Every structure is written in C-alpha cells, then in structure tokens.
Structure 1
C-alpha cells in the first residue's frame, strides 16, 4: 500500500551496485529503513543520493506492505525544505553531525510520534536559519529531546541529583550550575556566556545522563569533532 509521509534523513549505506539502504525518521511510521534503487548510478536523475544526506527534510510516497516488514521501498521522493546553511557552515555541520548520531542511537520506535517529529524538524530549521547564539544548540537539543524520550528534567537541581545518585564524579561550580538552569528552562537562542571548558562539561554530563536512561547509547564518535570546533 502507498502512503504519503514526511521524513528526516539520518544515514545510509551502499547496497549492491547502485542502490542504498537508508534510515529515515518519518512522521507517520517512526524510524524506518528503505531500499532506494539506482541512486548511485551515473545515469541517476537529479543526483537523488544528495537527498539522503543527514538531516535532509523529505516528502515521500512509500510502500509499506506489512508491519512485520523491516525494509520498505520509496515510490516518490523530493526535498521538503532545502537547507541553506547547515550543510556548509563548519560549526553548524558539526552540530548536525552530532545530533544525527544522537538520533540514530535514540530513535527506536517504528510508530507515529508526530510531536517528536515536529520537534526534530523545527530544531533543524532553527539551526539552519540561526545567524548567531547557536553555540549551545546541541545542549538544549539534548535537554529537550530527553522529554520526548520520557526522561527529561525541569531544572538543574533535579538534573544534578540524578547524576549524583549515579555516582557522577564532578560537581558543578556556581557559573556552570546557573548556566545549566538557563539551558534547561529556555528555548534555542538564549545568550549564555559559557567558556569552552564549562560548555564541554555540561555536554558530557548530559551524555552521561542519557546513558543512565539508555544503556545502548554507547560511544558518541562525533563528540571529539564538536569539542574542536566549538571554541
């Protein structure tokens, strides 16, 4: 059966000579895997493989036969909203790489969650449009995503108590505590003066916080790149 759905491209791997297997987070079916034929061929129309670069926003018509099927096919595909700066700006693309890895490790449900989809889509569009004050975007993204995943906290005290109860070794100083409180309470774009060391410590605490709740999170490979570009 054919279905219309919007999607967010997360990753792909090569499959056979000219095809790929792509992971896409959709607004109708949650996280899904699709075989896409012919996109790596020199004769492929309009270079469709570019549509599967991470965080590309998609409009799709897809075949879904049975819920038990693990791999599906795409009938029609186009870009929903072209990204203007995120793929080309070094800092933004590094932030994008990080949140793509986080999403790849945390999105597991193969069912509709429209609120979560809209949050991710809105976050991507915010980052793409932002001209300044987005250096803490990834921290706020993690904090807000945790609510959609079922383990968010409302304030810095609750956050730090969870870390303490799980034997996290480092207590925050006053500046770090206040910054954490603001980052947890406010939306993207709030201006918070954080030096590189404190920003890194808050991020590491959030990743530890995720690992408390998600045993499968594992190593975040893009973290080191992010530490280098965010001075």
Structure 2
C-alpha cells in the first residue's frame, strides 16, 4: 500500500550498475530499506527515486512509498527534500560529524517500529547541526548523550553515567563536570573542552553505548572525525 512519511537518510549501498539500496529512518514506518533503480544513471532526475543528491547522509526527506508488511525491501514512488541543508555540506568539521553520526545511528537504530518522538529529536538535532555556529566541536557529544534518552538507556545524572563506564575508562572531576553540562545544557552551550579532553569524554560515551547496544563494536568513522577536529 502507499504510505506518506518523512524520513532521514542513514546510508546507501550500490546495487548493480545503476541502482542503490538506501536505509532510511522514517517517522511513520521506523527503519526501512528501499531499492532505488536507475538513480545512478544519466537522466535520473525524472525517475520516482529522484537524484543521488537526495540520498546523502542525514538528508531530510518527504516520501511516498510502497510498503508491504514483512517485506525486507520497499520502493519509493515520490521523494522530495523540502528542507535542504544551508551550511552543512560546505563545513569540513560538520561533514566529519555527519559521517560519524550516521554510522552510529546505523548501529543504534534497528527497530522497524515507528517512534515519532525519536524521529522528531533526530529531525530537530540535524537542523541544529546545519545552522549551528558556536560549539560545533561538542555537538556529537551532546547528541549521543541526548539520544540515549530516546533509545531507553540514559542515566539521570553524570554520577550514574560515570559509575557505569568507570570500570572500563578512568574518569575524574573534570570529566564529571563536562558530562553533567553535556547532559543538561542545550546544543551550542559554551562547554570548555580541549581536544584531548573531548576525545576522552567521547571514548566514555562510546563505551556507554557498547554496554547498552548489542553488537555496537567500533566505529570506522571515528579516526576521520578525530582528524578533522584536530
């Protein structure tokens, strides 16, 4: 049946010569995969799947899709991007954050059950990242801690967080203060962290995710993010 929904692109893989299989987290249908034929061929702008630019990481879409229960792959009838990014594609630092976040989301979002509250959080956060001018270097830290609330395993305080991760990674009073502020303050808040401390806090957060997300493992995009941030 036809279903209208908003969606956030997570990733895609090439399929045959001109097609892709794209993974999209949708507002109405949860996590879904779609096969898009001919999108990598010339003249694809007129096809139902649109053009390749629509399938870049974290692109915000409006979709009309063919959805069949128990099917692993679905098809897109109509697609558009009513909220194109303004700054993100041209910002080197933000590009590294996007690659990192899409890999983490691909590991963390596994349910086909819809979760509109989670979707709205992701949608809002992506908008913030596109337009944010200050505190961008801490965005991914705040995002991961805030995301854990919607995934169902957030800790209420920084002390609870550190209690979980301290058997694996050492922490001190400065880490505690940083985590508390990252948990409570809005995106862009002036949280003073140098590069070394930021990497340490990130390692704690990733360990926190490994404790709660099955098969989380390591992230291939982490070295790229750290190189871009210096």
Alpha-carbon contact 1:7-1:27 (below 8 Å) kept: yes
Query: Could you report, residue by residue, the CA deviation over 1:183-229 in whole angstroms, capped at 9, with x for unpaired residues?
Result: 11112111011111111000000000000111311111111111112
Aligned partner of residue 91 in structure 1, secondary structure = helix
Is contact 1:29–1:110 with CA below 8 Å preserved after alignment?
Answer: yes
Question: Hey, what does 1:108 align to over in structure 2?
Answer: 110
1:155-205 Cα shifts (integer Å, max 9, x gaps): 2101011113xx214122x22221111111112111011111111000000
- Aligned equivalents of 1:207 and 1:83: distance in 2? 27
Question: Does the Cα contact within 8 Å between 1:155 and 1:185 map onto a contact in 2?
Answer: no
Shift of 1:35: 0.6
Match of 2:153 among 151, 154, 176: 151
Aligned residue for 1:132, secondary structure, equals: coil
DSSP-derived class of the 1:87 partner: helix
CA deviation map 1:72-110 (0-9, x unaligned)? 000001113000111221100111111111111100110
When the two structures are superposed, what TM-score results if normalisation uses the length of structure 1?
0.95
CA distance in 1, matches of 2:38, 2:187: 39
CA contact (8 A) 1:22 1:34 kept: yes
> 1:43 Cα shift?
1.9
- Whether contact under 8 Å (1:154, 1:185) holds in the other structure is no
Report which stretch shifted further, 50-59 or 153-162.
153-162
Task: State the number of aligned residues.
Answer: 227
1:59 is matched with 62
TM-score, length of structure 2 as denominator length:
0.95
- Paired with 2:175 and 2:5, the residues of 1 have a C-alpha distance of 41
RMSD: 1.2
Which whole-Å CA distance do the structure 2 matches of 1:131 and 1:195 have between them?
Answer: 18
Consecutive unaligned residues in structure 2, runs of 5 or more = none
CA contact under 8 A between 2:3 and 2:65: conserved in structure 1?
yes
Give the equivalent residue in structure 1 for 2:162. 160
Looking at structure 1, the residues matched to 150 and 179 of structure 2 have their Cα atoms a distance apart, in angstroms, of: 19
Structure 1: which 5+ runs fail to align? Answer: none
In structure 1, how many angstroms separate the alpha carbons of the residues matched to 2:165 and 2:203? Answer: 11
Q: 2:206 and 2:92 mapped to 1: Cα distance?
A: 22
The CA distance in 1 between the partners of 2:117 and 2:43, in whole Å, is: 38
